[in-house]
């Protein structure tokens, strides 16, 4: 066991971890952060997406010890005071059914919109190509995101 420090949702946190513990499990089981989900455990599904130093990454493929001294943002971190515009759009367009993929998709698109506030539909598709949704067929998800791009819902 070793103690690591990290910045989680803009707050410094310390946590005891083993070398072989995965960041996703430590977030969920030791740090009380339940938005990243365990789906495939091999980087394919995107349900475990978190922002590490601002970039969407797979928390199932990162050791907790690797996150030492890094900055991690989860869904909890982007909706503390009120929901983000993206989250509001997801509600407006009824973009989820089961919601399992939603935290990952919202974080991936949050990164995209920060880098590129007016993405095309193609760019949106590319940014969440690694976030699988098995309920919606993606259409209401694209509609919600497009409504924020200044290009209007498609």
Partner 1 sequence: MSHYGLGTLKKEENMALAHTFDYQRPSTLIEALQLKAKYKDKAHFLAGGTDLIVNIREGMLKPDLLIDIKGISELLKLNWEKETLFIGSNVTFAQLIDNELVQKHFILLHDACKTIGSTGIRARATLTGNICSAVPSLDSAPALLCYEAKVHCASPESQREIPVTEWFLAPRKTALQEDEIVTGISLKRIPDSSGIYLKLGRYSGEDLAQAGWGILMTADKQYRLAHCALSPIPKRAYYIEDLLNNSNPLNADLIEKAIALIPSEINPITDIRATQEFRMYISGIMLKRGLTAIQERISGKYIEPRKLLGDV
Binding site for partner 1 (CB under 8 A): 11, 13, 18-22, 25, 29-34, 41-44, 46, 49, 52, 55-58, 60-63, 65-66, 76, 108, 111-112, 125-131
Minimum separation from the CB atom of position 90 to partner 1 (A)? 19
For residue 86, give every residue at least 6 positions away whose Cβ sits within 8 Å of its Cβ, in sequence order, or none: 106, 109, 110, 113, 144, 145, 148
Identity of the residue, 49 or 149, whose beta carbon is nearer to partner 1 in the bound complex? 49
Tokens of 144: 């919600």
Minimum separation from the CB atom of position 40 to partner 1 (A)? 10
In contact, 41 and 62? CB cutoff 8 Å: no
Reading phi first (left if > 0) and then psi (alpha if -120 to 50, else beta), residue 127 is in alpha
Identity of the residue, 29 or 94, whose beta carbon is nearer to partner 1 in the bound complex? 29
Q: Spell out a b/e string for 133-144, using b for 16 or more CB atoms within 10 Å of the CB, else e.
A: beebebebbbbb
Identity of the residue, 12 or 150, whose beta carbon is nearer to partner 1 in the bound complex? 12
Minimum separation from the CB atom of position 106 to partner 1 (A)? 13
Please, where are the H alpha helices in 57-101? 75-78, 85-92
In contact, 76 and 50? CB cutoff 8 Å: no
Minimum separation from the CB atom of position 43 to partner 1 (A)? 6
Identity of the residue, 42 or 152, whose beta carbon is nearer to partner 1 in the bound complex? 42
């Amino acid at each position: 066991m070793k103690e690591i420090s990290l910045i989680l949702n803009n707050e410094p946190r310390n946590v005891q971890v083993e070398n072989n513990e995965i960041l996703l499990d430590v977030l969920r089981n030791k740090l009380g952060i339940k938005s990243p989900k365990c789906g495939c455990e091999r980087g394919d599904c995107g349900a475990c997406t978190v922002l590490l130093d601002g970039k969407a990454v797979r928390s199932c493929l990162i050791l907790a010890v690797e996150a030492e001294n890094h900055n991690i943002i989860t869904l909890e971190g982007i909706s503390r005071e009120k929901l983000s515009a993206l989250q509001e759009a997801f509600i407006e367009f009824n973009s989820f059914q089961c919601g399992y993929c939603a935290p990952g998709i919202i974080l991936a698109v949050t990164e995209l919109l920060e880098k590129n506030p007016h993405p095309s539909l193609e760019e949106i598709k590319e940014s969440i190509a690694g976030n699988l949704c098995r309920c919606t067929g993606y259409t209401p998800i694209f509609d919600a995101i497009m409504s924020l791009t200044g290009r209007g819902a498609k």
